[in-house]
Amino acid sequence: METICLDVLNSDWHDYRHAGKGEDRLPKAAWQEYLVAQWSLPVSIPPDADAIAALQALRSLMQRMVQSILQNQALTEQDLAELTGYLNAAPFQTHLVSEDGRYHLQETPLHNDWRWVLRETALSFATLLTEHDPTRIKLCENPDCRWIYYDESPYANRRWCENTCANLMRVRQYRARHRRK
């Protein structure tokens, strides 16, 4: 599953091959351009320091909420209220539009700024919690990776974010078993 909230969560990047190597990709211009293009967000200016700090705070909130989900704990009222604040971060208009003989609602921001990105990220996280199974939100079992993903496997038994981590962990386990012999 691809959603903007997972992209923002995983912008706190860790090298899946080496412990301790990582970077915060949120402040990087190339990553910001990717995010805006990937999700067709109507933002024309780069974020200022306040917008980056707000995105980092939203990411921390979502990480905390994911940890609660992973530990089978209920989300706190404070976290829910904070997420609601991000949902209300940007004013928008709703339009009824016709496309191919069908009608649907389209939301457009009143201001094309990074508050809209905050809102869209929070909305995608709230949608993940409300319209999908939150127990399928998982953390890669590679301790060096820490990638957060949505498990779409039939039995919800996926353990790693990608085959790359799965193969790496299997090789590590194989080598560890053979070193003991």
Decide if 95 is inside a domain.
no
Query: With a threshold of 0.85, does the pTM exceed it?
Result: yes
Per-residue pLDDT of 71-111, as tens digits, reads 999 999 999 999 999 999 999 999 999 999 999 999 888 98
56: which 2 tokens? 């980092």
Q: Which pairs count as long-range contacts for 70-77, CB under 8 Å and 24+ apart, including other chains?
A: 70/137, 70/138, 70/139, 75/129
Q: Domain span at residue 59?
A: 4-86+112-180
The number of distinct structural domains making up the chain is 1
Nearest-10 Cα torsion for 48, 50, 52, 54: -150
Residue 159 lies in a domain: yes
Q: What is the CATH number of the domain that holds 149?
A: 1.10.3300.10
CB-based burial label for 146 (10 Å; 0-12, 13-18, 19+): middle
| Cα–Cα distance measured from residue 158 to residue 165, given in angstroms and rounded to the nearest whole number | 12
Split at pLDDT 50, 70, 90, the class of 42 is confident
Query: How confident is the model over 45-76, as pLDDT tens digits?
Result: 899 999 999 999 999 999 999 999 999 999 99
